[in-house]
Amino acid sequence: MTESSVPAGPPPEVWLASDPLGEALHFLRMSGVVYTRSELTAPWSIDLPAMPDCVLFHVVTSGQCWLATGGAEPIRLQPGEFTLVPHGEGHQIADALETPPVNLFDLPREQVGPRYEILRHGGGGERTQLVCGAVRFDHPAARELVRLLPRIMRIQAWNSPQAEWMQSTLRLMASESGERQPGGETVVTRLADVLVIQAIRSWISENPAAQSGWLGALHDDRIGPAILWIQKEPSRQWTVASLAREVAMSRSAFAARFRNLVGESPMQYLTRWRMHLATSDLREGEATVAELARKLGYRSEAAFSRAYKRIVGVPPGSVKLRSK
């Protein structure tokens, strides 16, 4: 077989029927770290410390406020907007930019449930109410997607293509957060989860930056399905040639196209993906390092440990110890 010939692969309808981008969005299942209903009266200003593993969000249900992050222009938040800080960057929210901030963790909060609390703070003046939260995406595909998002994402429900249902969702959230009804915190947290995912979907569909890099590669009719194969079967003994066969390309053409779109070789992506999965299991699961090595397709624990340290920078055993 010559290098330019096209290897046999599955019929085009098989791999074209897959939806790699949809698969990535499918992994946007999150765990809520904390949700807070804030009742604030002017003057007030709160300093939120960085939470690097979390996506932070704010919904103003009444009133208005400022959001300021280091080095970025402050933005004014009003009802009908949903604002994300995708990388958990530390920031301030305030009634006025000149109001001195108080650290969030220095303020008393009423614990309503394990992950839902009410915060009351301020000087008794003009009222602002917010629903804020910190959520964590646990699956590597979701973290890969979140890594590509901008520092601040601002979704204005009134201008969104999904304006009607977003407005309804925000109104329902405002109603539920303003009244102490049975199960109200559950409704608010579920609505917040939906809004977080919708904000990310909106950014993907509307932002040109989403058409490049890893996200852009997911749109490609050959490289997208190859990424999906890797993500679905990370333990398989993949080679560049076997991945190329799955998407009916020659080895050299596939390798060049993959690197051009993704920014790394297929084997580099495979190894990094395996290490993402391993890190999740080490932090949350009961699997031993040896069990993970077998699960991810390594012939020995030593080979897996060397690969893990090369990619992550620390031995897998140290991650497991820190998680206990």
Contacts of residue 221, defined as CB under 8 A and 6 or more positions apart, other chains included, come to: 15, 16
Contacts of residue 279, defined as CB under 8 A and 6 or more positions apart, other chains included, come to: 140, 312, 319
pLDDT of residue 160: 58
Q: Whole-angstrom Cα distance, residue 253 to residue 145?
A: 26
Distances (CA, A) of 147 to 87, 136, 227: 7, 12, 17
Reply yes or no on whether the pLDDT at 5 is more than 60: no
pLDDT of residue 281: 84
Q: Please give the full DSSP string across 117-159, using - where no structure is assigned.
A: EEEEEE-SSSEEEEEEEEEEE-SHHHHHHHHTS-S-EEEETTT
Distance, CA of 185 to chain centre: 22
Domains of the chain in sequence order: 30-210 (2.60.120.280), 214-323 (1.10.10.60)
Q: In percent, how much of the chain has pLDDT > 90? A: 39
Report which of residues 91 and 16 the model is more confident about.
91
**CB neighbour burial string for 145-172, b if at least 16 within 10 angstroms, e if fewer:** bbebbeebbebebeebeeeeebeebbee
pLDDT of residue 246: 93
Taking the CA atoms of 172, 184, 110 and 155 in sequence, report the sign of the dihedral they define.
negative
Please name the helix (run of DSSP H) or strand (run of DSSP E) that holds residue 198, with its range, or none: helix 184-206
Q: Whole-angstrom Cα distance, residue 11 to residue 9?
A: 6
Q: Whole-angstrom Cα distance, residue 285 to residue 279?
A: 10
pLDDT of residue 12: 38
Note the pLDDT tens digit of each residue in 184-224: 677 777 777 778 887 787 777 777 666 667 778 888 889 98
Please state the rounded mean pLDDT for residues 157-174. Answer: 66
Distances (CA, A) of 90 to 57, 85, 129, 138: 12, 9, 20, 21
**What mean pLDDT value characterizes the chain?**
82
Q: Whole-angstrom Cα distance, residue 301 to residue 307?
A: 10
pLDDT of residue 7: 40
Contacts of residue 21, defined as CB under 8 A and 6 or more positions apart, other chains included, come to: 204, 215, 218, 219, 224
Please name the helix (run of DSSP H) or strand (run of DSSP E) that holds residue 116, with its range, or none: strand 116-122
Q: Residues 81, 156: contact at Cβ < 8 Å?
A: yes
Distances (CA, A) of 278 to 51, 108, 291: 22, 38, 10
Distance, CA of 97 to chain centre: 29
According to DSSP, the β-strands at 116-122 and 30-41 are parallel
| Torsion angle of C-alpha atoms 26, 34, 49, 180, degrees rounded to 10 | 130
Encoded tokens for 205:
């569909």
- Name the DSSP letter for residue 211: G
Q: Whole-angstrom Cα distance, residue 275 to residue 181?
A: 44
